[in-house]
Amino acid sequence: MTGFLSDLVQYQGLFQMITVLGIGGTFQIGFQISILTYMSQHVKVFINETWLERYGYPIQQDNLLFLWSIIVSIFGIGGLLGSSGSRYLAVKYGKKKCLLCNNLLMIVAASIMGCSKTAQSFEMILIGRFMCGISAGLCVPLHHQYVGEISPKKLRGFANSTSSFFWSLGKAVGQILGQRELLGSQSLWPMLMASCGFPALVQLVTLPFFPESPPYLLMQKEDQEGCKKAIRQLWGEGHHQAEIDDIMKEKATMKNTKILSVLELVKEPAFRWQLYMIIVLTATVQLCGINAIYFYTSEVLQAAGFDERMVSYMTLSIGLSELVAAVVCSSIIERLGRKTLIRGGYWIMSSLLACITVTLSLQDWYFWMPYCSLCLIILFAVVFAVGPGGATVSTRAEIFTLSCRPPAFVIGSVLNWLGVFVVGTTFPFIVERLKHFCFLIFMGVLFTSGMIVHLFLPETKGKSIIEITEEFNKLNFKNKHVPTAPNHVTEDYTFCTRL
């Protein structure tokens, strides 16, 4: 604890910037996901009332469900578009400028949704949700890259895992504000939709006081003075020569390397296994069953005989448990390492899903069985947040060099948003056919992914990007000759080795 407090004092600029990035970053995603549950009935009533006023007859139930499904899924479509453009925008304008403009987009989207009821237009909700999706798709890869690049090696795992904390915090805040006593009522739901603009406003006002990432300033802008100033602002006035040397080594390895395109990265053999790992990690997050767990929570609690209002508070307790677990992940990730948390988390979650399948099968036989299911559901969410939830983000940010990071995050983000859309559209049909036995699919995915991580993912804790790349080269090239530089290096040049 003493070491953490001393780091908090020394690296206060870094912690402040991580907070600003988190509030305008993954906090937004968690918030957007959680408030949908509380707006569902209110928005459907609003659509029906608007339709009745326009056309003189109520909307058909099938059309109502279709419009609601479009409102939900269009967020993922916008996210897919936003993440696809993140690489180009980050390289051309820098992460800081992109995030500032992105905040303006989110504020406009929040204003449009907030005014939808007054304007009697459910189309404004569709437009606002689409714009929110674009904003979220753009900000998440930028957030992850930014946090990873501004953090010293000894705090890199902690810093990257904070995105999971802010995601859980956004979900918890959305669940709290969504209670009918606050903004989850029939009269105040537009304010709940518009409240996503407040975190964007906070980041818009505060981010200009913080610098671009030191590696970006040095490698892309050739601004050594700006790099030194950024390091002093973020890391204090202490001795940081080891981290500076790591940046210099990466620059020396990259030489005059350009930022790769997505197609160039896919074709580059030196990063093949890094791509395999990011695909496995991203796909597993979508197919681990966490969304299915939240889907079943209300059903399990209602089966236990709880009042509908109590079910809402108990669902909130799961979100708060996940938030606390995300804090735990941030505190232990530098001790246990990323690989241990991901692999162990997958296997424990796989075992819990088997137990949940059993308890759900027997919940009509014994009155106390739904309580067992609830305990297992909470434990599943906690294990996810402590293990894969935070460690996955950290690993994805650490296994690529600066030249590959933007296209790698585009690939990861596109896969993630595509997974959100596909799972969102197919999961109801899977549940309808398989019921609670759908958890067996997720159990198989978790066990298989755990084996892949155990066999092929190197530990990244405390290692520089050069050391991590050397570990992957053993897989990428095996017994072949390892090239001294990637194919896309163009020429040599000299630079100062001390800042």
Task: Give the H or E element holding residue 380.
Answer: helix 369-384
Closest CA to 427 of 127, 21, 72: 72
Task: Give the H or E element holding residue 400.
Answer: none
* Site of tokens 């975190």: 199
pTM of the model: 0.76
Q: What is the pLDDT of residue 490?
A: 37
Which domains are delineated in the chain? 12-210+225-236 (1.20.1250.20), 257-478 (1.20.1250.20)
Q: What is the pLDDT of residue 499?
A: 37
Q: Which tens digits make up the pLDDT trace of 75-88?
A: 878 888 888 887 78
Task: Give the H or E element holding residue 263.
Answer: helix 262-267
Q: What is the pLDDT of residue 203?
A: 93
In sign, the C-alpha dihedral spanning 74, 195, 37, 430 is positive
Q: Which tens digits make up the pLDDT trace of 220-243?
A: 777 778 887 888 888 877 666 666
Mean pLDDT of 365-389: 83
pLDDT of residue 373 exceeding 90, the answer is no
Report the alpha-carbon angle 203-219-217, nearest 5.
Answer: 35
pLDDT of residue 65 exceeding 70, the answer is yes
pLDDT of residue 3 exceeding 70, the answer is no
Mean pLDDT of 119-136: 91
Instruction: Note whether 172 and 324 are within 8 A (CB).
Output: no
pLDDT of residue 334 exceeding 90, the answer is no
* Site of tokens 């992957």: 472
Tell me the percentage of the chain whose pLDDT exceeds 70. 83
Radius of gyration of the chain measured on its C-alpha atoms: 23
- What band does 491 get if pLDDT is binned at 50, 70 and 90? very low
Q: What is the pLDDT of residue 447?
A: 93
Q: Which residue has the higher pLDDT, 480 or 282?
A: 282
pLDDT of residue 347 exceeding 90, the answer is yes
Average pLDDT, the chain: 80
